[in-house]
């Protein structure tokens, strides 16, 4: 069985607090007719701090899509290798042991993908496969885990490296005044995560089954409007209620595996906002405490898009993990509206404590 090992996570050094976010909204949009609603929504996210790749003064400027994309590339090249190296160390592997790099990001664009640069810069083997995923948004963290699982199922002795690089602050659009856009300005943060899926050995989540589900006719609920100024984030007001139709998809996947999604030992899910976690608790009939790792990510880092699932898993490792053979669920949610879901058991090498 393929095992998802401990992720490595890094957030940038610049921090913006909830209080600073609210004050910026008041000062920049004081005449906005829906400002009170936007402020209330931002406060209700529960996001205490977020990390961004530039000082807030620079983030609030818009030098143009070209300059922002150049910054995305420069920051990715400066920050990603160290995160990858720590993930490899956690999995006790070298770059030459990796057979595929799955790179997910929705906040910048490069062609060739950063994967090509990484292979050259970090001395991965030239035969390493590349799988960049750019258009699944926040669901891409779950999708990366699933594609790594698929790869290691097809090639049982292979190892996959997952990299999620999200600089959401580079998508800030000062002219977007919709309530959804104002909310996103107080919700999203920047972060990088990496993790190895080992085909053999390792400590972590032994992946057993994965699946995907798309809610019909919701493709316009979370989307980018791509303009000359870059990516403009559009968020439909119905998005927070999507766990009601997605919870049955989680139940169905677990049922196919002979499990009950309401009776598992751990849950690692994407935290798009507190409503997502509250509704999952309600519709899966699971104690809210089960989502504490995801909620901690949301509180301390904000929504870091595809990196959320990996950071929540990292927090579970830091808490000591779970009992050997404990059953769990991992899930990422994003545009589509799409759910990328995995089931697995906690694997302790030789039954020993997780590192």
Active site residues: 138
Under 8 Å between Cβ of 6 and 88: no
Positive/negative CA dihedral, 52, 53, 58, 60: negative
Cα(34)–Cα(268) distance, integer angstroms: 34
DSSP helix/strand/coil, 231? strand
Which of 188, 164, 224 minimizes the C-alpha distance to 47? 188
Report the 10 Å Cβ neighbour count for 290. 20
Closest CA to 301 of 285, 283, 315, 322: 315
Q: Is 175 exposed, middle or buried (0-12, 13-18, 19+ CB in 10 A)?
A: exposed
118, two tokens: 């990484």
Backbone angles phi, psi at 166, to 5 degrees: -130, 115
User: Which of 205, 209, 208 minimizes the C-alpha distance to 354?
Assistant: 205
């Amino acid at each position: 069985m393929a095992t998802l090992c401990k992720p490595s996570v890094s957030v940038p050094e610049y921090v913006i607090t909830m209080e600073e976010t609210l004050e910026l909204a008041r000062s920049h949009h004081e005449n906005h007719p829906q400002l009170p609603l936007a402020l209330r929504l931002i406060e209700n996210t529960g996001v205490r701090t977020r990390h961004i790749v530039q000082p807030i003064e620079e983030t609030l400027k818009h030098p143009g899509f070209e300059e922002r994309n150049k910054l995305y590339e420069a920051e990715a090249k400066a920050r990603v290798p160290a995160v990858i190296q720590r993930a490899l160390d956690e999995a006790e592997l070298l770059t030459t042991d990796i057979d595929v790099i799955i790179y997910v990001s929705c906040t910048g664009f490069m062609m060739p993908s950063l994967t090509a640069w990484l292979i050259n810069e970090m001395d991965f083997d030239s035969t390493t496969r590349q799988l960049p995923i750019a258009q699944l948004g926040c669901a891409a963290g779950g999708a990366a885990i699933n594609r790594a699982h698929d790869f290691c199922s097809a090639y049982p002795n292979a190892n996959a490296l997952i990299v999620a690089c999200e600089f959401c602050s580079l998508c800030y659009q000062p002219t977007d005044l919709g309530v959804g856009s104002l909310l996103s300005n107080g919700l999203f943060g920047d972060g990088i995560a990496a993790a190895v899926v080992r085909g053999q050995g390792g400590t972590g989540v032994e992946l057993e089954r994965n699946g995907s589900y798309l809610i019909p006719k919701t493709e316009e609920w979370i989307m980018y409007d791509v303009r000359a100024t870059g990516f403009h984030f559009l968020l439909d007001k119905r998005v927070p209620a999507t766990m009601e139709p997605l919870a049955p998809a989680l139940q169905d996947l677990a049922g196919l595996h002979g499990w009950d999604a309401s009776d598992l030992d751990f849950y690692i899910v994407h935290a798009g906002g507190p409503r997502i976690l509250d509704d999952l608790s309600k519709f899966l009939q699971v104690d809210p405490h089960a989502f504490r790792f995801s909620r901690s990510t949301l509180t301390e880092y904000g929504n870091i898009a595809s990196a959320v699932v990996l950071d929540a898993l990292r927090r579970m490792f830091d808490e000591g993990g779970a009992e050997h053979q404990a059953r769990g669920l991992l899930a990422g949610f994003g545009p589509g509206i799409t759910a990328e879901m995995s089931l697995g058991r906690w694997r302790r090498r030789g039954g020993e404590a997780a590192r």
